[in-house]
């Protein structure tokens, strides 16, 4: 872990990714790399994603504008042929860079590429762990795309590379987009979107810090074999009309099992909204394909270590996480699963949906005293909400939680996984919207249900002692706030509770005048023989047989 003085640059966009797997290609860890952006952000570097890139294949006709339809046909043609990795062509001086040497490479702001009146592009140099090259094109309105030419003079290469130049075909590792959130200060552009590393990207809204990541696709996450990481191998950044507030990006995705074309239409603001359209063409059967995957970090939170027997964190900060729960919406219900760390092994939870209304990894705790980290500003990390529009069908939202003791590792993955394995030669056409989420309630998270705002766990012996004491008894304290809840203590609310094993005993519901919300106390008594895996506990508040809150869903 970096020393605390360096965390404000490393932790604001640290691109964490981790996995407990020992397979040769694993989502094991990330290196945070400061690249001297306008905001001083840090961009993700993923150590084990530099294994393979496809051989260069003919791209859509450069004599005409590249369209999503043409790119989708190109991806389909690629899928009909075997995946062919190409040799590593990173020059030795760039491959030999240390972490600090790569950090010192910064893009010169004066070389930013303007996109209309409100956007600009900055580029990432290849080197160190960011060895892969992506092809970048700028596409003017109604005209053919033009490749973005590499030049060493676009960057301050830092002391380790002082005086060096590199060939014009070196290319770039990725890019970031900037936008003036404040209309009164058009010159004050801020970074809001990053594409760098495999198919990872990050989006933030006005006033937010970078936190969780999204991906183009996830293959085999949590499966019995190694996870596969598709790459975005080429991007077409479409120049918007001069006064446009939305920018469009096309992308080509490649991996041994999958090819795909993507169209991203991004409108930054409060919130920032990204509309995603994809055409996916499997080269091989994919037993577990994750659509609209989200990746985040949860180290410890308000529920303590979170898992039975987990070691507490010796940390001055009460909580450390980029997301604190998963929300899954279906018609008439919304489920909230607080995230857990500290299990002995990775855990997959599946939430069946038919149909899916939406899901997201959210950061509901948004007050500074909850974190006490002046530099990381976890309270300002965005959530991301996925709203499906087409191509999802029957399936489940799967949550993959990986034990982690390190803050710089992503250990949380959520994605929609179709019920049936994806067949080779098939075509998937998912469309969905990603929306940044800050303080709730927000319109994009559906259903007029009050939400879970905290989950706390402790010994039931403290408030309900028994003789002799039974330390395995646990007390769950769940706070609910939001629309639809009565604002007086005399209201008759009841708790609807259930446990997949053991017994939930003596639920008590009370009004909390300090917050205007309601609190549920309920004791869980485990069974004599604990079943393998998680015990699932559920609860919601009811009035006259009608649910007032989303369903709290916890793993005991």
Confidence of residue 58 (pLDDT cuts 50, 70, 90): low
- The model's pTM: 0.89
Q: What is the Cα–Cα distance from 505 to 522, expressed in whole angstroms? A: 6
Q: What is the Cα–Cα distance from 366 to 66, expressed in whole angstroms? A: 42
Q: What is the Cα–Cα distance from 40 to 122, expressed in whole angstroms? A: 13
Q: What is the Cα–Cα distance from 45 to 132, expressed in whole angstroms? A: 11
Q: Could you give the maximum distance between any two Cα atoms of the chain, in Å?
A: 83
The per-residue pLDDT for range 495-549, each reduced to its tens digit, is 999 999 999 999 999 999 999 999 999 999 999 898 887 899 999 999 999 999 9
Per-residue 3-state assignment (H helix, E strand, C coil) for 132-149: CCEEEEEECCCCCCEECC
Q: Token digits for 23?
A: 């397979």
**H or E element: which one contains 69?**
helix 68-79
How much of the chain exceeds pLDDT 90, in percent?
Answer: 74
The per-residue pLDDT for range 259-303, each reduced to its tens digit, is 999 999 999 999 999 999 999 999 999 999 999 999 999 999 987
Q: Domains of the chain, with CATH numbers?
A: 4-437 (2.70.98.10), 451-555 (2.60.40.10)
- Contact, 1 vs 407, CB < 8 A? yes
Candidates 240, 231, 14, 252; CA nearest to 142 is 240
Going by the DSSP 8-state scheme, the letter that residue 161 receives in this structure is: G
Paired with 114 in beta bridges are 120
Confidence of residue 455 (pLDDT cuts 50, 70, 90): very high
- Contact, 242 vs 116, CB < 8 A? yes
**Phi, psi (deg, nearest 5) at residue 101:** -65, -40
């Amino acid at each position: 872990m970096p020393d605390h003085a360096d965390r404000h640059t490393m932790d604001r966009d640290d691109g964490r990714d981790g996995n407990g797997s020992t397979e040769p290609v694993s989502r094991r860890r990330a290196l945070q790399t400061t690249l001297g952006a306008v905001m001083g952000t840090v961009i993700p570097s993923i150590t084990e994603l530099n294994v393979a890139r496809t051989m260069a294949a003919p791209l859509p006709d450069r004599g005409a504008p590249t369209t999503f339809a043409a790119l989708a046909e190109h991806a389909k043609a690629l899928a009909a042929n075997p995946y062919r990795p190409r040799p590593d062509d990173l020059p030795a001086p760039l491959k030999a860079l240390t972490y600090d040497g790569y950090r010192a490479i910064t893009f010169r702001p004066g070389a930013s590429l303007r996109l209309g009146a409100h956007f600009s592009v900055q580029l990432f140099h290849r080197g160190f762990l960011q060895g892969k090259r992506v092809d970048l094109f700028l596409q003017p309105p109604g005209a053919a795309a033009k490749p973005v030419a590499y030049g060493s003079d676009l960057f301050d290469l830092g002391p380790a590379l002082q005086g060096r130049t590199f060939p014009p075909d070196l290319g770039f590792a990725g890019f970031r987009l900037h936008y003036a959130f404040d209309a009164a200060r058009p010159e004050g552009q801020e970074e809001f979107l990053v594409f760098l590393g495999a198919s990872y990207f990050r989006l933030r809204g006005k006033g937010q810090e970078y936190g969780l990541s999204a991906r183009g696709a996830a293959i085999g996450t949590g499966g019995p074999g190694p996870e596969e990481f598709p790459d975005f191998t080429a991007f077409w950044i479409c120049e918007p009309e001069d006064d446009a507030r939305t920018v469009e990006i096309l992308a080509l995705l490649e991996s041994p099992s999958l090819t795909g074309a993507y169209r991203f239409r991004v409108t930054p603001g409060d919130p920032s909204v990204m509309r995603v359209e994809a055409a996916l063409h499997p080269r091989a059967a994919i037993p577990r394909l994750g659509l609209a995957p989200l990746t985040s970090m949860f180290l410890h939170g308000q529920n303590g270590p979170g898992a039975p027997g987990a070691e507490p964190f010796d940390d001055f900060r009460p909580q450390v996480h980029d997301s604190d729960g998963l929300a899954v919406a279906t018609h008439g219900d919304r489920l909230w699963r607080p995230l857990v760390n500290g299990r002995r092994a990775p855990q997959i939870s599946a939430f069946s949906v038919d149909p899916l209304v939406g899901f997201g990894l959210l950061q509901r705790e948004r007050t500074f005293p909850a974190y006490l980290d002046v530099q990381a500003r976890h309270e300002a990390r965005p959530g991301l909400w996925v709203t499906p529009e087409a191509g999802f069908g029957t399936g489940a939202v799967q949550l993959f939680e990986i034990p982690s003791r390190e803050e710089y590792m992503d250990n949380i993955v959520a994605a929609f996984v179709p019920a049936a394995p994806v067949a080779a030669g098939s075509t998937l056409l998912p469309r969905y919207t990603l929306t940044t989420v800050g303080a709730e309630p927000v319109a994009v998270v559906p259903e007029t249900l009050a939400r879970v705002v905290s989950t706390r766990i402790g010994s039931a012996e403290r408030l309900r002692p028994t003789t002799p004491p039974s330390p395995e008894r646990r007390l769950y304290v769940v706070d609910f706030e939001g629309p639809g809840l009565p604002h007086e203590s005399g209201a008759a609310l009841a708790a609807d509770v259930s446990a997949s094993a053991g017994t939930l005993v003596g639920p008590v519901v009370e009004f909390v005048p300090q917050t205007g919300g309601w609190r549920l106390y309920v004791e869980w008594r485990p069974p004599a023989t604990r079943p393998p895996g998680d015990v699932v506990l559920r609860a919601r508040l009811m009035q006259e047989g009608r649910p007032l809150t989303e369903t709290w869903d916890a793993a005991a």
